[in-house]
Amino acid sequence: MKDTARILIEAVWPELDGGRHPVKREVGDTLTVWADLVREGHDVLAAVVKYRTKAEAEWREAPMRHFDNDRWTGAFALTENTRYVYTIEAWTDRFASWTRDLDRRVQAGQEVESELGEGAAQVSDAAARAAGPDRESLVAAATLLRGPGPIGGRVQAALAAPLAGLMARWQARTHRSGYDRELEVVVDREAARFAAWYELFPRSQGRVPGRHGTWDDCIARLDDIRAMGFDVVYLPPIHPIGHTKRKGRNNALVPAPGDPGSPWAIGNAQGGHTAIEPALGTLDDFRRFVEAARARSMEVALDYALQCSPDHPWVREHPEWFYRRPDGSIRYAENPPKKYEDIVPLNFDTPDREGLWRALADVLRFWIAQGVRTFRVDNPHTKPLPFWRWLIATIQAEHPDVVFLSEAFTRPKLLRALAKLGFTQSYSYFTWRTTKAELTAYFTELCRTDVREYLRANLFANTPDILTPYLQEGGRPAFKIRVALAATLSSLYGIYSGFELCESRAVPGTEEYQDSEKYEIRVRDWDAPGNVKPYIAKLNALRRAHPALQRSTNLEFHDADDEAVLFYGKVDAAGGDPVLVAVNLDVRTVRECRLRLPLDALGIGPDEPFRVLDLLRDTEHAGQGADYRVRLDPRDEPVLVFTVRR
């Protein structure tokens, strides 16, 4: 049978790829839904957004209202950390159509006795469906409309708001039409949207050169990390490290005695993905570390790296989970011309796919049981997309508060596909965007296109693999500039330890750190001269104090008449708490330029005086007019974070 729905529902938003993928929000948000509702003729329409959690059987409803040009909108509150389903239902509002036409006839001086009879019939029909006091009120209204009372009083009763409300609840939904699909929204906890991450290698947290750090050493570092204002302590793999083809210092193919190897070469005779490197301590010690972080209002994130060393127990217990060469030998990881002989990849096309997938999910369940709720996923773009869709949905159905960060420095469409499939957060290309044009274009894409509905960019200023030329060459100003950009452009950002010390020595011609911590134990003076710890602490304090900085999609770029100065701002969800940021991207030159303040958005008249509060320096200046001149000296302070008040 052909579709006989009288009302066309189209252009629904938010909807990703025809509803194949969910959008993302956080607990406490309101999901606003838009749609075009079209039918022939001039009858009044009514519509609702129908919604429920995936665990609920019954739909709830939120009313939609006409916005403009057949465009309708409605909204509902997202109160639970779970997955919601929503759709749209529309119908012809016969009573509203009748009252509209009745009012027009009365205004034109026409006789309306017959029309009142039609209205009384509609009210009687609704009364038959109603119950309790509503039924009694509707019966009384129908009697009044039929007369024989004065026409004026009957018309007034027909057009009154109380009767309209009763009819909206109880009248039949004539020409009821539903949207042809159910859409989904993943509602995460707030940490999915707002957090500052700090990455550290546990083995490097000791105080004695060459001695392997322990969980007690890591606990001792937590106060310093919290003092800088971080929310998440992220650890690279903490598991036993393989011995076969172990890497030496600076990625040497032959290790020296005592070299610890790369933590990403997971597994040896002492265990695999659910074991802890014995030099760090025991599982009980790890739990103490997790609790110590929680006591300081931080949480622990673990690396979820789906690869093994040749010594991993799975190689012996499940040889079918690995790739084999024609001669029967196991195949190590490669990304030609690079070779990773200390790592063997998993074969996701194994005949025992179900067993492998179940084992990988059980790894997550094990660490969740130890109190971990956040996982940074290593190289997800090298594993099958269906696996991630299944894994994330499975784990979040059991533990909806689990956060997955995708470390996918890969092709743009693949990076976005991983976010659509369920990753809570994503690494981004921010690390390499350094010019005003690059930053403006990239963050316009992230915050002003449909990407904002599903991809939360976590801006890491550096990683153990990435020390950009900008940081290598720019000195201390470069580190201040990049952390300020990361902390204010996005509500999610991170640094890898050593950033606060402005570490910038690289292997010549590469982005690799010289004497990389990936291959050796490093002991640092965490209060070394020239550090930017107080600066980071101030930025993180501002992020907590200003709700505008706790979101990313509220980013707006503004005009600065210098190509080296990036000027942007944010306001909070309620439209207040403006925070403006001007950044000199030139690490060597003082820049003096004119900023064009968005006075209209700030609610300030063009000639009205105002105060400028410098939030980094805690100073105050007077201002008037949209043109505001600034001087940004990279040797002193290359960044201005400020607010404007009347």
Q: Which of 235, 300, 242 is nearest to 271 (CA)?
A: 242
Whether the ω angle into residue 14 lies within 30 degrees of 0, i.e. cis, is yes
Q: Which of 37, 47, 53, 38 is nearest to 86 (CA)?
A: 53
Look-up of token digits 């409803």: 61
Look-up of token digits 């201005």: 640
- Rounded distance, CA 254 to CA 242, Å? 14
The two most distant CA atoms of the chain are separated, in Å, by 105
- Rounded distance, CA 470 to CA 430, Å? 12
CA pseudo-torsion sign 476, 479, 483, 484: positive
Whether residue 398 lies in the annotated active site: no
DSSP per-residue letters across 1-17: -----SSEEEEEES-BG
> How many C-beta neighbours within 10 Å does residue 636 have?
9
Determine the Cα angle at 324 with ends 319 and 329, to 5°.
Answer: 90
Kindly state the tokens that stand for 304: 């979820």
Is the separation of the CB atoms in 341 and 414 below 8 Å? no
- Rounded distance, CA 426 to CA 232, Å? 15
Helix pair angle (469-489, 436-448), 10° resolution: 40
Is the separation of the CB atoms in 501 and 526 below 8 Å? yes
Q: Which of 425, 438, 410 is nearest to 374 (CA)?
A: 425
The CB-side HSE value for 390 (13 A sphere, CA atoms) comes to 12
Q: Name the active-site residue from 93, 311, 378, 586.
A: 378
Residue 58 phi, psi (nearest 5): -95, 140
Kindly state the tokens that stand for 352: 């025992």
Q: Which of 455, 463, 537 is nearest to 496 (CA)?
A: 463
Helix (H, G, I), strand (E, B) or coil at 10: strand
Q: Which of 484, 526, 469 is nearest to 501 (CA)?
A: 526
Whether residue 407 lies in the annotated active site: yes
Q: Name the active-site residue from 15, 342, 407, 562.
A: 407
Determine the Cα angle at 448 with ends 447 and 449, to 5°.
Answer: 105
- Rounded distance, CA 93 to CA 171, Å? 8
Helix pair angle (151-158, 113-129), 10° resolution: 40
- Rounded distance, CA 377 to CA 88, Å? 36
Residues labelled catalytic: 378, 407
